[in-house]
Chains A and B, each alone.
Chain A
Amino acid sequence: MSSARDLFLAIETSCDETSVAIVADGTETLANVVSSQVEIHAPFGGVVPEVASRAHLQNLEPVLTQALRQAVVEPDDLTAVAATHGPGLIGALLVGVTAAKTLALAWNKPYVGVNHLEGHIFAAFLERPDVRLPMITLLVSGGHTSLVHVRDRGEYTVVGSTIDDAAGEAFDKVARYLGLGYPGGPVIDRIASGFAGEPIAFPRGLMDDSLDFSFSGMKTAVVNYVRKHPDTPNDAIAAGFQDAVVDVLITKTMQAVKRHGVISACLGGGVAANSALRRRFEVACDDLGVDSLVPSRQFCTDNAAMIAAAAHWRLRHDGPTPLSGGATPSLGLGS
């Protein structure tokens, strides 16, 4: 192992994935182990905070062991230990934060607390360290939907966000209503991909000049449509709903790209794993002549590699986080 490299070990436990990653120099992923709790939460139709916290505590040590083995890294070789310290579920965050702080203390390394949203922004640099800034990043998941103007690393302005549900939340609610199961995003994606007919046309929410999003009306439109046309097959509805959501996401993102005159556009968050969104995002960026960054799925959904990448930059920029640091469930970008 070359000692010239900066090796960051990061822990991500903000929601329902327990993840530990080891990343070299902020870009080269040596290990990115993710243990998903989707199956544990499926009977509840959503993530149950206390259930998630209990599972993180059980999963952490095996995931940590696997990451160190996979990366072939000794603790002595590490530069720092990082963890997501917000936003997220407080009990879940505290497992990762406490683990990272303790390892930092025991291994005598600096600790770095990382903003989860900044992690999603840095996911782009893992595969494309050469990315040109400024860029617009569409952060889209079950917990948030926002457009971030990234002027430079560490310089962010949220230029648009949802005024009601997050996009991933809308996917979950529609899937639950249609009886398709949980989580909603992947199942709707799959059904829509296999559908060759004419999707139902649903209204697009909040298609005005603003860069804000609204998804709750679209969910209501689905409910009203099914009441009126109970015999419509689920796949035509799922495909139509996905079309509408993706349409709004793409339109607003491209509006932001034009308004802020950026040269790149990037996707991040769990919903960024949606195949229709990924496809149309690249096409729309091509049309506008901006560089499109669509990280591979393992770096879009919650993972610790993106936290390690952000930590690498944060440590140089801000220095270490004190071991008296905690977690902030509602941490925002720029705070």
Chain B
Amino acid sequence: MLTLALTSSTALVGVAIADGHELLAMDSVMTERRHAETITPMVGEVLDRSGSDLHAIDRIVVDIGPGRYTGLRVGITTAKMLAFALSVPVVPVTSFELIGMAVAEIDHAGPVVAVVDARRDQVFAAVVGNGDPGRGPLVVAPADFAASLPPNSLLVGDGADRYIEEFGRWATVEPGVVPNIAGGACVGGERPSTPAARIEPLYLREPDAAINIKTRPGVGAVTRR
């Protein structure tokens, strides 16, 4: 089972190819705004390095978020179009899961929580290890989230990094943890897949204008071209 995996929901753009549980090739870079510029050539390069032909790919694993809206759409658009062109199904994974995979080897007794920067003074959060898996995904202000953390929590992800001072008083933060796309490619073969048309981003929040319209109609709209 040849699996191609993509992530671009955070500042990390990553591509990996695995044959079953064996990683064949991967690449990733950190970029603030160049997700679209980065991901397409990276798919081509990782394919070349893996020695596999694009048309031999059996399924596409894609990070469906939560995360940055634009980056998220770049990754999902890439996955949908690859699946369309190759007539293969897609396996959705969350950014929480991919971040969790990055710390799967860490020995920590308490709950492990993936925290993704949601901008607008909020974070997305979900328990990814040793805790109540029913907890999350949350969209929450960092201060409220910090105060509600169970004892001995380990926080990972770009949201944990951003609010490290706030969270550090209540929990342990392991900084610099990014989605593990190689891990995503290696588990893709055993996950349930779905037709590409059914893949939707995990936005977890309405567009600002949709929130504002209840109180301030017209705010956030631009005119048509």
Q: Is the CB of B73 within 8 A of A53?
A: yes
> Bound complex: CA of A62 vs CA of B197, how far in Å?
8
Closest to B224 in A: A142
Q: Mark A11-55, 1 if CB is under 8 A from B, else 0.
A: 000111000000000000000000000000101111111110110
Q: Is the CB of B221 within 8 A of A41?
A: yes
Which residues in A have their C-beta under 8 angstroms from that of B145? none
Closest to A322 in B: B41
B136: min CB distance to chain A, Å: 22
Q: Is the CB of B80 within 8 A of A61?
A: yes
A240: min CB distance to chain B, Å: 21
B225: min CB distance to chain A, Å: 3
> Bound complex: CA of A87 vs CA of B217, how far in Å?
26
A169 in contact with B223 given A51-B207, A107-B85 (CB within 8 Å): yes
> Bound complex: CA of A99 vs CA of B80, how far in Å?
8
Closest to A62 in B: B197
Stretch at the interface among A89-97, A203-211, A231-239: A89-97
A104: min CB distance to chain B, Å: 8
Is residue A143 within 8 Å, beta carbon to beta carbon, of the partner chain? yes
Stretch at the interface among A122-130, A248-256, A278-286, A324-332: A324-332
Which residues in B have their C-beta under 8 angstroms from that of A62? 197
Q: Is the CB of B77 within 8 A of A166?
A: no
- Interface size range of chain A in the complex: 35 or more
Of A105, A269, A270, the residue contacting B44 (CB under 8 A) is A105
Is residue B37 within 8 Å, beta carbon to beta carbon, of the partner chain? yes
Stretch at the interface among B105-113, B150-158, B181-189, B208-216: B208-216
Which residues in B have their C-beta under 8 angstroms from that of A243? none
Q: Mark A81-116, 1 if CB is under 8 A from B, else 0.
A: 000000011110011011101110111000000001
Q: Is the CB of B40 within 8 A of A324?
A: yes
> Bound complex: CA of A64 vs CA of B39, how far in Å?
21
Is residue B86 within 8 Å, beta carbon to beta carbon, of the partner chain? yes
Is residue A57 within 8 Å, beta carbon to beta carbon, of the partner chain? yes
Is residue A141 within 8 Å, beta carbon to beta carbon, of the partner chain? yes
Residue of B81, B201, B220, B221 contacting most chain A CB atoms (<10 Å): B81
Is residue A172 within 8 Å, beta carbon to beta carbon, of the partner chain? yes
A102 in contact with B213 given A46-B224, A89-B222, A141-B224 (CB within 8 Å): no
Of A47, A61, A95, A172, the residue contacting B73 (CB under 8 A) is A95
Is residue A302 within 8 Å, beta carbon to beta carbon, of the partner chain? yes
Is residue B38 within 8 Å, beta carbon to beta carbon, of the partner chain? yes
Could you write out 27 A-B pairs with CB less than 8 Å apart?
A46-B218, A48-B207, A48-B220, A49-B220, A50-B207, A53-B69, A54-B69, A57-B77, A60-B80, A61-B196, A90-B70, A94-B35, A94-B36, A94-B70, A95-B73, A98-B40, A98-B74, A101-B36, A102-B40, A102-B82, A103-B81, A107-B85, A168-B223, A172-B223, A323-B41, A324-B40, A326-B34
What 4 A-B pairs have minimum CB-CB distances, sorted nearest first?
A46-B221, A143-B225, A142-B224, A106-B85
